[in-house]
Amino acid sequence: MIQRFLLIFSTIMLLTACGGGKSKITQTESSEARLLTISQKQGYAQVEIKDPWQGGKVLHTYLLVPRDSVMPANMPAGTVVRTPIQHALVYSEVHTGLMRELGSITAVKGVCDSRYFTDPQVIKLINEGEITDCGNSMSPTIEKVIEMKPDAILLSPYQDATYGQIEKLNIPIIECADYMEYTPLGRAEWMRFYGMLLGKAHVADSLYNAVKERYNAIKNKVATARADKPLAITEMVISGVWNVPGGNSYMAKIIDDAGGTYPWAGDKSTGSLSLDFNQVLAKAQNADFWFIKWTGINSLHDLQGQYDLNKNFKAFKEHKVWVCDTEKSHFFVRIPFHPDLLLQEYAAVLHPTLFPEFKFEFYRQLTN
């Protein structure tokens, strides 16, 4: 009861703060993101990121202090980040994509793994030298990093991560553990943290609230309108291994929210299960729908060519296989902070009569 009161109170305070001007929030708490806790203190914001790999431990604590403010006294231990960040080195296009959406693309001054970037604006800025290409994210070109003088480095952490020489530069490393969130809205909510870093807290809050509202509207529409919950599977076998999302994973949640039944819903894991083809066939041969994210599969023949026994699934026989070309669709860039778009597509596939006019952006149905 007390927790609910605090949540409502903090949400009201947050929405009040979104009204404009300087933040009046004294304390907020994330409602969907389980790894992220944001607290407004006197003169700074404290952001605590839980360690996704070791329950109960803290991965990193950030103390966000506005650039034009005097450094507050008696701050707790943590990495101080002066906001808004203006010279960011960003490892992933997921985060540059969000920064562009928040109107802060000019804060991106360096990227890693530039060959994976598909955003024409970022590619243009790299070619013009406005954004520095700092090389491979696993071992960035340290001299280029020093030369571009970043005031923050946004990277994706991994278990027991060490970041080599980057750690010794005394530059705040923002560990973007959003990809380890368990739910679609949980991951999307991290945009609030990134918005605070970029001085765009109110823009990010508005964007998140809109995403959340759309997501819940689709979820509620499916839940109230349909009793049937067709069985759906995802991905496919690659070199003998079928990486199946765990029962508590992001994709399992999307299927559930879209009004589908997921064969591994009873599984407790949040990551992927490495199964072989036979395990998937035995459990889900009668799956009604099959969603695949892969480039180069343009027909059912292609899918059978990838692995001959794929033809044995009911979804294959009934031509209910839907494929997303990840290279053409910008799926991995857009979906993390817009899970409503993915939910809409899944819901429209699983319950087409509810969304008769819907035009698909990411997935398309395979034919012969």
Partner 1 sequence: MVQFGKSHRFSATIIVLLVVLILLVVACLLFGSVDINAQAVWNILTGKGSDNEAWDIIVCQSRLPMIVTAALAGAALSVSGLLLQTTFNNPLAGPSILGVSTGAGLGVAVVMLAMGGSVGGMYGENIGSYLATLIGAFTGAGIVLFILIFFSTIVKNNTMLLIIGILVSYLASSIVQLLNSVASEQGVHSYVAWGFGNFSGVSVAQMAVYAPIVIAGLLLSALMVKPLNALLLGTRYAENLGINTHHTRIALLVITGVLTAVVTAFCGPIGFIGLVVPHIARIMLSTSSHGKLIPATILAGANVALLCTLISVGGEHGVIPINAITPVIGVPIILYIILNRKKVVLKD
Binding site for partner 1 (CB under 8 A): 115-116, 136, 238-241, 273-279, 281-282, 285, 294-302, 304-309, 312, 326-327
Closest separation in Å from C-beta 193 to partner 1: 25
User: Considering only CA atoms, which of 99, 350, 85 is closest in space to residue 203?
Assistant: 99
Closer CB to partner 1, residue 33 or residue 94? 94
The DSSP bridge pattern shows strands 289-293 and 232-234 to be parallel
Closest separation in Å from C-beta 272 to partner 1: 9
Looking from the CA of 184 toward its CB, the CA atoms found within 13 Å total: 25
Residue pair 142/165 in contact by the 8 Å Cβ criterion: yes
Closest separation in Å from C-beta 302 to partner 1: 5
Closer CB to partner 1, residue 72 or residue 305? 305
Closer CB to partner 1, residue 258 or residue 297? 297
Residue pair 277/242 in contact by the 8 Å Cβ criterion: yes
Closest separation in Å from C-beta 300 to partner 1: 8
Residue 56: partners with Cβ closer than 8 Å, 6 or more residues away: none
CA 333 to chain CA centroid, nearest Å: 8
Closer CB to partner 1, residue 223 or residue 281? 281
Opening angle at CA 40, ends 37 and 46, nearest 5: 55
Query: DSSP string covering 114-137, please?
Result: GGG---HHHHHHHHTTSSEE---T
User: Residue-wise over 27-43: b if at least 16 C-beta within 10 A, else e?
Assistant: ebbbebbbbbbbebbee
| Gyration radius from the chain CA atoms | 22
Closer CB to partner 1, residue 11 or residue 304? 304
Closer CB to partner 1, residue 190 or residue 331? 331
Backbone angles phi, psi at 49, to 5 degrees: -110, 120
Closest separation in Å from C-beta 295 to partner 1: 5
Q: 115: which 2 tokens?
A: 């060959």
Closer CB to partner 1, residue 208 or residue 290? 290
Closer CB to partner 1, residue 8 or residue 238? 238
Closest separation in Å from C-beta 100 to partner 1: 20
- Coil, strand or helix: which one is 27? coil
Integer Cα distance of 251 and 181 in angstroms: 11
Closest separation in Å from C-beta 239 to partner 1: 4
Side chain identity, residue 243: N
Integer Cα distance of 236 and 98 in angstroms: 29
Closest separation in Å from C-beta 159 to partner 1: 18
